[in-house]
Amino acid sequence: MLILALDSTAVVASVALCRDETPVAAFTVKNGNTHSETLLPMVESVLKTAGYTVDDIDLFACSVGPGSFTGVRIGVATIKGLAFGKNKPCVAVSTLEALAENLVPQSGILCPVMNARRGQVYNALFRYENGELRRLCDDRAMAATELEAELLAMGEPVIFSGDGVGEIRRLCKEISPSRVSDQLVDQNAVSVAKCAYRAYLRGDTCADATLSPIYLRLPQAERERLAKQNEKKM
């Protein structure tokens, strides 16, 4: 099965082409939030390098959040556009699950974290055992210090990934994030493809028309609008 996967949920833009769980070609850049300009050219480059066209793709996948609201929307819109009219299945992959996949096969608590601003992180907990990545909790937005307390109570080694590692270092004094390479910390579309392949085997796919972002909280502009409405009612 030929899988085209992408991730644009943070400052990293990543595109990968995989045969089942084996990478065929990949392209990752860390150039800020210019994904609307770079993502499609990256897809074209990956397909050309591997000698395929979009018509050869059997499964389309992307990270659907949490993450940058703009980046998530761009990624979902891009994969929907590529899959449109192809009558091929799509898979919506949690950004946090893909970040946990980066850390496989390391042991301990796998803790992907993304900076949600205002002292909060997007987070989920995973464990790799018996050859499988196992989710321990749902994706969530929480205070970094609240996560710190939970991890301390678990009393196990913790390995972090994601752009929220810096926020953990800044706000949490009792835990020390393990040092891993940037390749493991940053979003990687190969991990998205691996998660998508497993989802496909479980039958967890959707049509391109129903692929949609997952936001754990409202965008800042929407929160401000609702706050103003509430002020007027008071």
Residue 222 has pLDDT above 50, yes or no: no
Residue 218 has pLDDT above 60, yes or no: no
Question: Would you state the pLDDT for residue 34?
Answer: 81
| CA proximity to 147, closest of 115, 123, 126 | 123
Residue-wise pLDDT for 116-148, tens only, equals: 988 999 999 999 999 999 999 999 999 999 999
Looking up tokens 């556009």 gives: 81
DSSP one-letter string for 104-121: TT--SEEEEEEEEETTEE
Question: Would you state the pLDDT for residue 31?
Answer: 77
CA distances for 233 relative to 84, 224, 229, 230, angstroms:
44, 14, 6, 5
CA distance 54 to 172: 45
DSSP summary character for residue 224: H
Residue 33 has pLDDT above 90, yes or no: no
Looking at the chain, which residues constitute the CATH 3.30.420.40 domain(s)? 2-95+186-225
Residue 40 has pLDDT above 90, yes or no: yes
Question: Would you state the pLDDT for residue 226?
Answer: 39
Structure token digits, residue 71:
């980046």
Residue-wise pLDDT for 163-179, tens only, equals: 998 888 888 888 876 66
Residue-wise pLDDT for 50-93, tens only, equals: 999 999 999 999 999 999 999 999 999 999 999 999 999 999 99
DSSP summary character for residue 11: S
CA distance 148 to 178: 14
pLDDT band at 185 (very low <50, low <70, confident <90, very high): confident
Question: Would you state the pLDDT for residue 109?
Answer: 94
CA distance 187 to 60: 17
Looking at the chain, which residues constitute the CATH 3.30.420.200 domain(s)? 103-181
Structure token digits, residue 212:
């949609």
Q: Are 93 and 62 in contact (CB under 8 A)?
A: yes
The whole-chain average pLDDT of the chain stands at: 90
Structure token digits, residue 232:
């007027």
- CATH homologous superfamily for the domain 2-95+186-225: ATPase, nucleotide binding domain (3.30.420.40)
Q: What is the CATH number of domain 103-181?
A: 3.30.420.200
pLDDT band at 204 (very low <50, low <70, confident <90, very high): very high
